[in-house]
Structure 1
Amino acid sequence: MMHVAPLGIFGTIASQSAFSENSDELRRRVGRIPEGERARIAEYLRSGTPIIALMGFSEDVLGNKFSRTGGTAIMSDGCFFWRLDAADYVEHYGIEMPEDFISHGNSRKWVPPVLSREEAAAVDRHLGHLRRIGAV
């Protein structure tokens, strides 16, 4: 089974209302990514492979700077998985990302791999397993 790690606070499969409960944790992480680095990290997050396409609508829980159709969708690069709206939080607020993700992105020069159908299916199966055991 393929192993993909949750991308910190964004590595959850949750409705918008459930995710909004993380607003205090998000506030503690604001400004941790310098403005000059935010765009490339946000683009990487937006360019991941969609794994679980959800029709949910997400809204900024910090300052109403953005909203995103499908923002609760789950994306992956084969190593990590995250909510699509993670890109907006990085871009607008510089929300801190785990150091292993930053190292991984830097090693790839912030160009995400395109997952094959088989790789995406393996990530989906792994996420299904995590949901069954209550880990995400």
Structure 2
Amino acid sequence: MADVAPLGIFGKIASQSAWAENADTLRRRVGEIPTEERRRIAEYLRSGAPVIALMGFSEDILGDKFVRSGGTALMSDGRFFWRLDAADYVEYYGIGLPEEFIAHGAARQWIATTLSRGEVIEVDDRLAELRRSGVL
């Protein structure tokens, strides 16, 4: 459980201004997820367990399609972790995600595992390690 991996570009803590620096990287991945798959993947991302809840909101850095309250919060399914607003980027733009994650979610029929309190604490401990090492 404690060996959670970042979900590509979405696996980082960043303020709105720092996150905006990723716009070009996101633009290059627009449309990689087919329209018919976006909603269920986005629902999976939204149903992950909140591990680090952060105040504020995130704004769409590619256009004006969404604003997400708490969008910089980090979510997890026990295997990966991601920003909450990753779901919006997938749903509205089809931003591509790592193949390992797509295989992982598809194998679970896009139903996120419910994490126990202890498992959330394990993930949080791992994220703290990553922050101390400079990865996050």
TM-score class, shorter: over 0.9
- CA drift at 1:15: 1.1
TM-score by length of 2: 0.98
Q: RMSD over aligned Cα, in angstroms?
A: 0.8
Secondary structure of 1:75 counterpart: strand
| Residue in structure 2 matched with residue 11 of structure 1 by the alignment | 11
| Residue in structure 2 matched with residue 111 of structure 1 by the alignment | 111
The aligned amino acid for 1:25 is T
Asked if the contact 1:15–1:56 (Cα under 8 Å) also holds between the matched residues in 2, the reply is no
| Residue in structure 1 matched with residue 66 of structure 2 by the alignment | 66
- CA drift at 1:56: 2.2
Rounded Cα–Cα distance in structure 1 between residues aligned with 2:56 and 2:50: 14
4+ long deviations beyond 6 Å: none
Counting aligned pairs with the same residue, the percent is: 69
Rounded Cα–Cα distance in structure 1 between residues aligned with 2:33 and 2:91: 9
| Residue in structure 1 matched with residue 87 of structure 2 by the alignment | 87
Rounded Cα–Cα distance in structure 2 between residues aligned with 1:65 and 1:89: 9
* Aligned residue runs from structure 1 range 4-43, under 5 A: 4-43=4-43
Task: Give the unaligned 5+ runs of structure 2.
Answer: none
Rounded Cα–Cα distance in structure 1 between residues aligned with 2:119 and 2:91: 28
Rounded Cα–Cα distance in structure 2 between residues aligned with 1:76 and 1:50: 7
Secondary structure of 2:12 counterpart: coil
The aligned amino acid for 2:64 is N
Task: Give the unaligned 5+ runs of structure 1.
Answer: none
